Amino acid sequence: MKEKLLSVEDLTIDTGVQQMILKSRDEGVKTAFDRNSEIGARCTFGELGVCCKRCLAGPCRILPGGKGPQTGVCGATADQIVARNFLEMVAQGMAPHIEHAREVALTLLETAEGKAPYEIKNPEKLINIASKLGLTVDGKEIEEVAKDVALKALESFQQQYGILPWLEMNANQKTLARWKELNIIPANAHHELTVAINRVTMGSDADPVNLLLGVMRLGITDGYAGLHLSTDLQDVLFGTPGLVKSKYRLGVIKEKMVNISVHGHIPMLADKVVEWAEKLEDEAKAVGAEGINVFGICCSANEVLMRKGIPVATNFASQEAPILTGAVEAMAVDIQCVMPSLPTVSNDYHTEVITSLPYSKIPGASHIEFTPAKADEVAQAIVRKAIANFGKRDPEKMQIPPEIVDAYAGFSTEQIVEALKNVNPEDPLKPLVDNIKAGNILGVVALVGCTNPRVKQDWANVEMAKELLKHNVMVVATGCSAHSLGKFGLLSPEGLEYCGDGLKQVLTAVGQANGMEALPPVLHMGSCVDNSRIADLVSALADYIGVEAKDLPVAGSTPEIMNPKALAIGVYFLAHGVDVHVGIMPPIGGSELVTNFLTGSKEEHELTTDGLFGGKVIYEKDPIEAAHVVIERIKKKRAELLGE
């Protein structure tokens, strides 16, 4: 059995994770990396998106152009099956984001009503949002404004007509007009989800083009009722991120401390765990520890890194690795991207995996039910469980990979504008736009999304970033992709060596105007919902120049995409006419129509996202090749914008 396993160097470039995979093999514990090898080649029908399970007459599988039947029992063609499956996958990606946003809105409401133990940490942003929503703020207490904003936010899930409030508040008018013409303006995110499930049921929507426009509608819903809403209200409750210095890799786990990992997405729990870890430090000392060390995984990590500088151990694909160090007392998880394997892996260790949300339980984990109102109580209980587990460590099993890397984060749009103000106080965006026009910055790419055991972990994210930087493309990052870059020094000024001369000069000048040696080569803009920050930055640039996002030399890239959430975010970018590179092909290959719609260029096919919206999907698994395809598209957009 052992001989069949891949060498750890082929699985990840993170040497600490490599050590943990070897340790897991020695101890007979399976991780995602080895489970991935065991699964082996993927089902062709599934990969092409041509397996239809919409009714009990099936499942029907079609191999387009093959010898077998070319339709399902009901007559559904490959185009219809693929389009329905893809729509469903994007809906599945959108649902967690809109639920995330709804929960944050409810937390804001309960905070305003004095029912939940949070504060309005950023009243200025709250007032700004209220004003943009057209709500009265004058003469009102801040709690009243918060309540009004929360209720308006909740209309995103209740109203029957109109436009999603956060879409109306943020969207570019020309872009909005185009979407209106295509009839893809959402009013209510929950309704959109119901419609999505409804239209893909047997006997409903069978028009592939109509279904694909439905996909775009979901992307818009994801962006405005999910991402923007979450980020805005989280900034109100927890503060807008500013520059922080922190650390990356498994070396952030501390041998002599009680180690607690926060993992998942919704910051209400993670933030409180950090707070109570500080408050209960003496209890940890009483059991012989030097203190309490909280570190993060996935997007919970991003939330507390961006606002509090909490260190990050790793990202999605290696989330089991911290348990394998034998030095983690508790892993507090909320929702999304949490592998159900965690309690199984922790069976052989003393780590207590603690789930917290009623609809996100895992057999074998402890469960302490979280509600915003009970946040203090729950966080205390988690920290105390961790303290109690400190004495249960098995010293024989402890092995913490020592590698640790410095990183800067906290680059909210507000922080970026602040930094630029130190270069030009009156006109902060001017230096950025001037450098884009002059070619010192060729364009901007957002590196987003996941790590996926099907791709050598961190490798594609890191190589893609380096190749773009070398060609003077400014890189901003979110999600697990940002974690990959953080682990390899690209969130620290030391990584400046990877930049081309023009970009290096800009990052050094802006950094020095802000008292730093230089800005890091990649700006970490937050969690996956914080892709809204990237959208805000792009919108600000577009408004400044007087064009739309689709006209700018910008693109998104998700080289190691795993979760359908990243797909929904990609569709959100696409709806704005921003190209999106994927390193793993979504299951659409079974339909030429669907593939052409998403990946074709306007010159080649009549009906494409490129023609209708101005951007397309670029599939390329080799990150260096991908960087060059993206660069060519950026050059094309530069030529159209600047007449180069």
Given the rule CB under 6 A, which residues bind ligand BF8? 265, 298-299, 315-316, 337, 449-450, 479-480, 527-528, 562-563, 565-566
Q: Which of 183, 293, 188, 235 is nearest to 529 (CA)?
A: 235
For residue 283, the minimal CB distance to ligand BF8 (Å) is 31
- Six-digit token string for 456: 């050598």
Residue among 475 and 552 whose Cβ is closer to ligand BF8 = 475
For residue 339, the minimal CB distance to ligand BF8 (Å) is 10
Residue among 335 and 441 whose Cβ is closer to ligand BF8 = 335
Q: Which amino acid is at 205?
A: D
For residue 315, the minimal CB distance to ligand BF8 (Å) is 6
Q: Which amino acid is at 586?
A: P
For residue 177, the minimal CB distance to ligand BF8 (Å) is 31
For residue 52, the minimal CB distance to ligand BF8 (Å) is 26
For residue 572, the minimal CB distance to ligand BF8 (Å) is 13
Q: How many CB atoms lie within 10 A of CB 3?
A: 4
Which element (helix H / strand E) includes 82? helix 78-112
Lateral strand order in the sheet of 405-409? 366-367, 352-355, 330-333, 258-264, 292-297, 312-314, 244-248, 405-409
Find the largest Cα–Cα distance for the chain. 73
| CA-derived radius of gyration, the chain | 24
d(CA 40, CA 34): 10
Residue among 205 and 458 whose Cβ is closer to ligand BF8 = 458
For residue 591, the minimal CB distance to ligand BF8 (Å) is 25
- Six-digit token string for 284: 């940890």
Cβ contacts of residue 286 below 8 Å, gap of 6+? Answer: none
d(CA 176, CA 37): 45
Long-range contact set of residues 567-570: C-beta below 8 Å, sequence gap at least 24 = 567/89, 567/90, 567/93, 568/90, 568/93, 568/94, 568/97, 568/218, 568/219, 568/222, 568/226, 569/93, 569/219, 569/222, 569/223, 569/227, 569/448, 569/449, 569/528, 569/531, 570/219, 570/617
DSSP alpha helix (H) spans, 309-357: 321-324, 342-346
For residue 562, the minimal CB distance to ligand BF8 (Å) is 5
Peptide bond into 59 cis (omega under 30): yes
Residue among 390 and 619 whose Cβ is closer to ligand BF8 = 619
Residue among 106 and 298 whose Cβ is closer to ligand BF8 = 298
Residue among 298 and 383 whose Cβ is closer to ligand BF8 = 298
d(CA 63, CA 589): 11
CA distances from 308 to 143, 376, 535 (A): 24, 18, 23
- Six-digit token string for 411: 């680059």
Residue among 479 and 614 whose Cβ is closer to ligand BF8 = 479
- Six-digit token string for 603: 């010159």
Cβ contacts of residue 278 below 8 Å, gap of 6+? Answer: 292
Residue among 435 and 563 whose Cβ is closer to ligand BF8 = 563
DSSP alpha helix (H) spans, 360-478: 375-389, 413-421, 429-438, 459-470
Please give the torsion angle defined by the CA atoms of residues 124, 125, 129 and 131, in that order, rounded to the nearest 10 degrees. Answer: 20
For residue 317, the minimal CB distance to ligand BF8 (Å) is 8
Residue among 178 and 581 whose Cβ is closer to ligand BF8 = 581
For residue 264, the minimal CB distance to ligand BF8 (Å) is 8
For residue 585, the minimal CB distance to ligand BF8 (Å) is 17
Instruction: Locate the DSSP E strands across 45-103.
Output: 51-52, 60-61
Residue among 266 and 442 whose Cβ is closer to ligand BF8 = 266
Residue among 230 and 435 whose Cβ is closer to ligand BF8 = 230
For residue 529, the minimal CB distance to ligand BF8 (Å) is 7
Q: What angle do CA 163, 167, 171 make, to 5 degrees?
A: 120
Residue among 362 and 499 whose Cβ is closer to ligand BF8 = 362
For residue 43, the minimal CB distance to ligand BF8 (Å) is 22
